[in-house]
Structure 1
Amino acid sequence: MVSGFVLFNGLVYPSFKPLVRTEAMVVVGDRVVYAGDETRALRIADALGLEKVDLKGRVAMPGFIDAHAHLDSIGINLATLDLRGIDSIEELKSRLKEYVKSVKTRWVMGRGWDQELFRERRWPSRFDIDEVVSDRPVMLVRVCGHAAVLNTRAMELTGLLNAADRDVIRDERGNATGVIVERALDKVEELVRGSYTLDDYREFMMNSMKYAASLGVTTVSFVSVDLKSIRSLIMIEKDLGKLPIRVRAYLNPFDHGIDVIELLRQLGIRAGFGSHYLRINGIKVIADGSLGARTAWLSRPYSDDPGNSGRPNYGFDELMSIARRSSEACLQLAIHGIGDRMVEVILDIYGKLGNAQALRHRIEHASVLREDLIRRIRELGIVLAVQPHFVIADWWVVNRVGADRARYVYPFKTLIDNGIMLGFSTDAPVEPLNPWETVYAAVTRGCYEGIELCKYTGNERVGVVDVLHYYTYGSAYLLREENELGKLEPGYLADFIIIDKDPLSVGDKELRNIKVLETYTGGQKVYIRESH
């Protein structure tokens, strides 16, 4: 008996570019073997003795491939205090007060606040947190993941209270405010994560993968991966035989004193090493900060902070060394560059490597792009992992960069028109992992929400077909797997979702309300909606 099934009596999208609509699809084993006429598909099913799955008028399409997300942080966030959307420091304190009543962990963790939303019009401080919790260390991470506020106990335990560190923010009197950014935050997160056991990590990973599957995400490009995370994924795959979704890992270049690039080189691990479900693709480097924390490196100062242009996290020679060693080890680079000056430096480095296009080296975010940078990206053949939901979340960005630079911010349509390959993503948990929120943001560009950037860049709205293409095939291209993932054509892996509405038939405002009813990876059902 052949293992497989036929989907019929519905609408199937094997591809979005070119746009192909069919009536049915046949899956044998873990692959699509036919997509087309329903009558022929049913004949194939009868000949092979396949199960028949009635779509009942619903829609099947390729599963979403998130080109840039943090599976470990998603899993941790599912178990920590959610501060997304709060509008005041008082509300932050109120939520923290309730949360600590039921949490017994040594560190109290939360994430998601944005000072731009606060009625107090200021950043939170350690003194705010001390009012609620003073006897246990607390760290509350800003939504962007590039800044956090600690209470005094946490500042003392980490040695940051009196540290001479530029990433520890101080007031005009020189006193630490409790806000930390970039590498200081990295140090604290490393300390906190060090307290988690391997079993903790396995739970975080399973929870995040199941959550992704429930949203229709069948592959995740997992970035900023530490060794404990990759080890936990290897153990899960060994125990279960496969993962619920496909994971492509981009490891940190250094981990607790270990030179990860050299470790991978000595082991002979190159881009694409692993199984169909878990692969190591390359190295992720966070080269600058974020616009929200004003640490992204701009070519000119921030409009709302004229003495500050942001800064790089690495000197040129250090970043060049990481890039060259990664390329020589045949590892794909994914370098985080948000500010235009940072993107410029990354392109200088990729230009010097010589094999950037062959290895499909990536730039993550590429948030502020001058016209000359777009030309260089096209000429060098660099691919970009972008996050359309930033357009809505960064509602303050025009004030941050100024009206004269607004046209440079998140220019997705211009990139597409220039033939640059994009992979759409969320940077979750920075933005919601739900792909339909990202689709909505790319198509509407925040115009219905009155986002100021839309007034300057409404021309950068992307059509639904293009959005779905870059969220499936485009992301697969970034992973160097466009011949197996991102479509439902014969020979492709049967990673697909069944949804309740046709995204090409609903209005823009309805896109974010589309529901995922079932999710399949390799022809196996990994999620079914309870009410379905």
Structure 2
Amino acid sequence: MKKLLTLAIFATVLSCQKEKTPVDAIVINGNIYTVNGNFDKAEAFAIKDGKFLEIASSKILQEKYVADTIIDAQGKTIVPGFIDAHAHFEGLGNNLLSVDLMGTDSFDEVLKRVLDFQNEHQLGVIYARGWDQNDWEEKEFPNNALLNQLFPDTPIALGRVDGHATLFNQAALNLGNVTETSEIDGGDFIKKDGKLTGVLVDRAQNLVFNNWPVASRSQRVKALLAAQEDCFKFGLTTIDDAGVSADAIEIMESLYETGDLKIRLYVMASGTEDQLDYYLKNGIVKTDRLHIRSFKISSDGALGSRGALLREPYSDAHTVYGLPVTSLDYLEKAATRIANSEFQLNTHAIGDSANHAVLNIYKKALNGKNDRRWRIEHAQIVSPEDFEKFDDIMPSIQPTHATSDMYWAEDRIGAERIKGAYAYKKLLDTYGKVALGTDFPVEKVSPFLTFYAAVARQDLKEFPKDGFQMEDALSREETLRGMTIWAAYSNFEENEKGSIEAGKFADFIMLDRDIMNVDIQQVPETKVEQTYLGGVQVY
């Protein structure tokens, strides 16, 4: 009788227990920054069908759910997958597969790297990128005299770090029939003593590149997959790819179909007339991985090559104002067309004249529409009276530009204009959000350098001692939001990514340190231990 009573009680207890719900994975014991509206911390979350199902304590979730995969974070810091709000995805891949000229401290070092690369690979043409004459003892543009001697028959193109100037040898110049009498609107041919140096700025580069040997499809695929691998290593799960050609988009779409390309891309199609015609007719492209709903147009060049368009001459070149890469007439007509669609316009503007013109064109085209999320890419030098115009125009900024340019930027634009340069906090205070990116391969891929530059505004040697124009530094919370939920917002994707919340894609990364609390000088050394995309580990 006693045994029967015990069995009855046991059966009653079992019947009262709820059956656990199966899920794909449970992450427990984490130091989780959800980056939700309240910036809440959490300990655990459950994943189902590639999305976050519930965020709670480890105990609650393990009592409620069952999963074959239990990930014990062991106290490690977890944040949403990073979103790089302005980058060049294929450009990164090309750089990874070619000569790396980043960090060269002289033109001699540039030549050595090219020679070493060519001795190993023996290519028919060589393209490389990454030199910056501002990092050299002689801060002058190089010339192609030695390149012509070393490579008389092999076309060589050595791009400046920002992509707005390139040094070509004579064999490359011959491809575009470039001579001392060549001219082009929006471009410049750097000369010395009346002779070409081989450096072409902004649109002048196109004379050569329009005749450059076309990379094979297999080479381009290899570059895209190399870029994906590098991005996952740094915890990047979404890339805003700025200014993508039609043929590159076609290759990307084919790689998504085969499953080779997994990273999420927010594509800014190049704002050429043919791409405007195509997408404005056919509409937005939206899948879980690929989103095409914006155009990117460049209004001017870069500050480092004196192509940024200024309202007054350069302080270190008194007859130079910079270059209008796109005519204001075209930009105004394009903005009007785009304003009558659901598409977004994202315009590159570096100089104060470019920012002034683009802001006014945006205001006129939008005519009071205040949630179109049109972006100004870089917003690098802004006149004092123009900051207020960012009330409904979103700043898309790259903090490492400030720490790369701070050594020479004031020489370029003077003590007064520098006050409105790299003014990230002023832009944040006006719009309420900022989208943060790297502009890779102009800068390095690492988002931890973005984080460090935004907060510390110093280089890796802790220069300057008190930070560069610290009144425009961002807090750690603002920075993390700018790299996640605000970047998602800039892409109209804040309801599906950018924070660890139920219903959103389970894109998250596990770090080897707590970037929100460690000494800020440790942040650049942060390593990503694991990267997850849709709940699947990709690194």
How far is the alpha carbon of 1:473 from its aligned partner? 0.6
Is residue 335 from structure 1 mapped to residue 347 from structure 2 by the alignment? yes
Show the counterpart of 2:243. Answer: 224
1:169 equivalent among 189, 214, 222: 189
Answer yes or no: is the 8 Å Cα contact 1:406–1:453 preserved in 2: no
Is residue 438 from structure 1 mapped to residue 450 from structure 2 by the alignment? yes
Show the counterpart of 2:397. Answer: 386
For residues 191 and 4 of structure 1, what CA distance do their matches in structure 2 show? Answer: 51
Specify the SS of the correspondent of 1:145: coil
For residues 251 and 413 of structure 1, what CA distance do their matches in structure 2 show? Answer: 29
Q: Call closer, same or farther: CA 1:459–1:448 in 2, change over 3 Å.
A: farther
Show the counterpart of 2:54. Answer: 34
Please, which runs of 5 or more residues in structure 2 have no aligned partner?
A: 1-20
How far is the alpha carbon of 1:156 from its aligned partner? 1.2
1:208 equivalent among 217, 227, 230: 227
Q: Call closer, same or farther: CA 1:170–1:427 in 2, change over 3 Å.
A: closer
What amino acid does structure 1 have at the position aligned with 2:198? G
Answer yes or no: is the 8 Å Cα contact 1:64–1:471 preserved in 2: yes
- Matching of residues 399-478 of structure 1 within 5 Å: 399-446=411-458, 449=461, 451=463, 457-478=469-490
2:361 equivalent among 338, 345, 349: 349
How far is the alpha carbon of 1:244 from its aligned partner? 2.2
How far is the alpha carbon of 1:122 from its aligned partner? 2.0
Show the counterpart of 2:492. Answer: 480
For residues 238 and 51 of structure 1, what CA distance do their matches in structure 2 show? Answer: 28
- Matching of residues 98-497 of structure 1 within 5 Å: 98-165=116-183, 167-192=187-212, 195-240=214-259, 243-254=261-272, 259-266=274-281, 268-270=282-284, 273-354=285-366, 357-378=370-391, 381-394=392-405, 395-446=407-458, 449=461, 451=463, 457-497=469-509
Q: Call closer, same or farther: CA 1:187–1:264 in 2, change over 3 Å.
A: farther
For residues 482 and 513 of structure 2, what CA distance do their matches in structure 1 show? Answer: 20
How far is the alpha carbon of 1:371 from its aligned partner? 2.5
Answer yes or no: is the 8 Å Cα contact 1:398–1:453 preserved in 2: no
Q: Can you list the C-alpha shifts for 1:454-509, whole angstroms capped at 9, x where unaligned?
A: 66612212111111111101100110111111100111111110111111220010
For residues 450 and 298 of structure 1, what CA distance do their matches in structure 2 show? Answer: 30
For residues 416 and 454 of structure 1, what CA distance do their matches in structure 2 show? Answer: 21
Show the counterpart of 2:536. Answer: 524
Specify the SS of the correspondent of 1:418: helix
* Range with bigger deviation, 215-224 or 85-94: 85-94
For residues 78 and 37 of structure 2, what CA distance do their matches in structure 1 show? Answer: 16
TM-score, structure 1 as length reference? 0.93
Is residue 83 from structure 1 mapped to residue 101 from structure 2 by the alignment? yes
For residues 480 and 190 of structure 2, what CA distance do their matches in structure 1 show? Answer: 45
For residues 2 and 330 of structure 1, what CA distance do their matches in structure 2 show? Answer: 40
TM-score, structure 2 as length reference? 0.92
Please, which runs of 5 or more residues in structure 1 have no aligned partner?
A: 528-532
Specify the SS of the correspondent of 2:86: strand
For residues 261 and 342 of structure 2, what CA distance do their matches in structure 1 show? Answer: 25
Q: Call closer, same or farther: CA 1:170–1:492 in 2, change over 3 Å.
A: closer
For residues 471 and 218 of structure 1, what CA distance do their matches in structure 2 show? Answer: 11
For residues 137 and 122 of structure 2, what CA distance do their matches in structure 1 show? Answer: 31
For residues 153 and 96 of structure 1, what CA distance do their matches in structure 2 show? Answer: 16
For residues 126 and 534 of structure 2, what CA distance do their matches in structure 1 show? Answer: 39
Q: Can you list the C-alpha shifts for 1:386-417, whole angstroms capped at 9, x where unaligned?
A: 00001121121111111122211111112222
Show the counterpart of 2:27. Answer: 7
Query: CA RMSD for the aligned pairs?
Result: 1.9
Answer yes or no: is the 8 Å Cα contact 1:224–1:285 preserved in 2: yes
What amino acid does structure 2 have at the position aligned with 1:211? D
For residues 454 and 398 of structure 1, what CA distance do their matches in structure 2 show? Answer: 17
Tell me the percent identity. 29
Q: Can you list the C-alpha shifts for 1:128-178, whole angstroms capped at 9, x where unaligned?
A: 322322210000000111001000111112111345215342435422110
How far is the alpha carbon of 1:120 from its aligned partner? 3.0
Specify the SS of the correspondent of 1:219: strand
How many residue pairs align between the two structures?
515
How far is the alpha carbon of 1:187 from its aligned partner? 4.1
